[in-house]
Amino acid sequence: MKNTHTFSLPTIFVIFGITGDLVKKKILKSLYDLYLKQLLPEKFLIYGFSRRRYDDEQLRAYLLEIMNRRIFKEPKQYNAFLSHIHYVQGNFLTISAYEDLALKLGRVDKDWTFCSNKLFYLAVPPVVYPQLINNLHLSGLTKPCSPEEGWTRVILEKPFGTDFESAKALDMQLAKLFKEEQIYRVDHYLAKETVRNILAFRFGNSFLQPAWNKHYIHSISVRLYEKDLVGSRGGFYDKVGALRDVGQNHMLQLLAFFLMDQPKTFTPEEIKKERSKALSSLKLFSAQEVKDNAFRGQYDGYTNEDGVAAHSTIETYFKIRAYSTCPDFVGVPLILESGKGMHQNRTEVVVEFKRPSSNLFDVDKQQNNTLHYLIKPHEKISLDFLAKRPGFSYMLDSHELSFDYHERHRHEEFVDDYEALLYDIIRGDQTLFVSTGEILNQWKFIEPFVETWNKMGIKDLQKYLPGNFEGIE
């Protein structure tokens, strides 16, 4: 963990896209929760940046309305929290707005007689990233006062690029403008409580370790099912589709945790190195292999959604059978499956073990030992195992050993994913963030699917009825 000593120093949060969806759904609540827990620096201000013609009061009224509607905790604290928030109106693409912001922040530092820490959160559509980060740099906003004083950090949300080349270009631009320790690439799945537990579960329990390879594992499946349709996000979704929306990032990140080797030390660098290595081991498919190992679908009515092209061939469901080239996992099917309009909301990783090599028992009709690592709708780890049924004969039945996070930790408060991320950004801990190596390896794996599906167009795109679709076998 770095820079913990600077944690409590005066800090300014600048949020680009303060009136956008991400702030409404995630960032506002997380900042407020940190505030209530007194985990924000004692002296802090939030500058919201957006195109709307607002002033401070109008922005506060807008945010207050969200807080009231979503019923945040302790309403008596709403106004005290909002008094830390200010507004800057401007176009993300015009440098003058950034210069204006720099003047404002300069005045704050002067008032505080202190060079404050500054955090720039890009809660904006990724197409504006290149121009925005350039403007941040040109205006001097991201220049720390000195190596020891007033750190500056830039936070970007996925998707990082739309393919390998654009991700690489973005990465090169970031590397030119900022130091790696200033860049925080968010994949909020990494901050989910149960996802953070995977390393503890895999490497803190010796009984799993000898079995974690192709000799014992039959398959690993990562599933992210969502009942919701694309809703108001049609315009965004129709440019990416399910695979790039959640497969390229959240799901591959989960898979990496299940495939990776034990890191040498529990440090961000070592953990990311191992995750990235696991991702680079994924077999890259030819067009024919894509056709043989992947399936995609689109829910009925998708092309009538707002913002979606009338003849769109974008997938809202996919199922892929991938493989790793790592000697420990060669030949083990790695299944990635996700969709909108599914029969249930469920995110899980399922590791199915092989049957025992001995033929002592008649287990053919029984469920293999299976580990369910459930992330949504609630956090739970369970293991199906076989045990003898009481009586004279040797009949085996499947049973479950399980650990339900919420039941077990009923009285403990769970930390929300964005709360954990923001807290770590302030502390300067990059463990829960994605490295550029991981992102590029993810794109390398994904690209053959996107290219092949683009060429195939409507061919092989299966329609399904949203609502009770359980995926394909």
Q: Indicate which residues carry an active-site annotation.
A: 250
Spatial CB neighbours of 5, under 8 Å, sequence gap ≥ 6: none
Return the residues of window 225-244 that contact ligand BG6 according to CB under 6 A: 226
Candidate list 45, 119, 222, 246; residue touching ligand BG6; CB under 6 A: 246
Q: Give the number of residues in contact with ligand BG6, rule: CB under 6 A.
A: 6
| CB-nearer residue toward ligand BG6: 376 or 427 | 376
| CB-nearer residue toward ligand BG6: 245 or 348 | 245
Interface with ligand BG6, residue 419, by CB under 6 A: no
Closest by CA position to 337, among listed 367, 295, 377, 301:
295
- Chain residue at closest Cβ approach to ligand BG6: 245
- What are the b/e assignments for 330-351, b being 16+ CB within 10 Å? eebbbbbbbbbbbeeeebbbeb
Interface with ligand BG6, residue 186, by CB under 6 A: no
- 325 phi, psi to nearest 5 deg: -95, 0
Return the residues of window 314-373 that contact ligand BG6 according to CB under 6 A: 347
Interface with ligand BG6, residue 376, by CB under 6 A: yes
> What is the C-alpha separation between 24 and 157, in angstroms, rounded?
15
Interface with ligand BG6, residue 245, by CB under 6 A: yes
What are the residues facing 317 on neighbouring strands? Answer: 297, 339
CB of 439 to ligand BG6, least distance (A): 14
CB of 26 to ligand BG6, least distance (A): 9
Closest by CA position to 16, among listed 158, 132, 150:
132
Amino acid at 436: T
Instruction: Indicate the pairing of strand 117-122 with strand 217-225.
Output: unpaired
Site string for ligand BG6, 100-119 (x = CB under 6 A): --------------------
- What are the b/e assignments for 108-121, b being 16+ CB within 10 Å? bbeeeeebbbbbbb
| CB-nearer residue toward ligand BG6: 153 or 244 | 244
CB of 290 to ligand BG6, least distance (A): 22
| CB-nearer residue toward ligand BG6: 81 or 318 | 318
Judge residue 84's burial from the number of C-beta atoms within 10 Å of its C-beta, 0-12 exposed, 13-18 middle, 19 or more buried.
middle
For 367, the token pair is 């469920």
> What is the C-alpha separation between 384 and 399, in angstroms, rounded?
5
Interface with ligand BG6, residue 171, by CB under 6 A: no
- C-beta of residue 164 within 8 angstroms of C-beta of residue 447: yes
| CB-nearer residue toward ligand BG6: 142 or 442 | 442
Closest by CA position to 252, among listed 286, 275, 271:
275
- C-beta of residue 385 within 8 angstroms of C-beta of residue 369: yes
Say what angle helices 164-177 and 436-456 make with each other, to 10 degrees: 150
CB of 322 to ligand BG6, least distance (A): 20
- Tell how far CA 284 is from the center of its chain: 23
> What is the C-alpha separation between 11 and 9, in angstroms, rounded?
6
- Integer-rounded Cα Rg, in Å, for the chain is 24
- Site residues (vs ligand BG6, CB under 6 A): 188, 226, 245-246, 347, 376
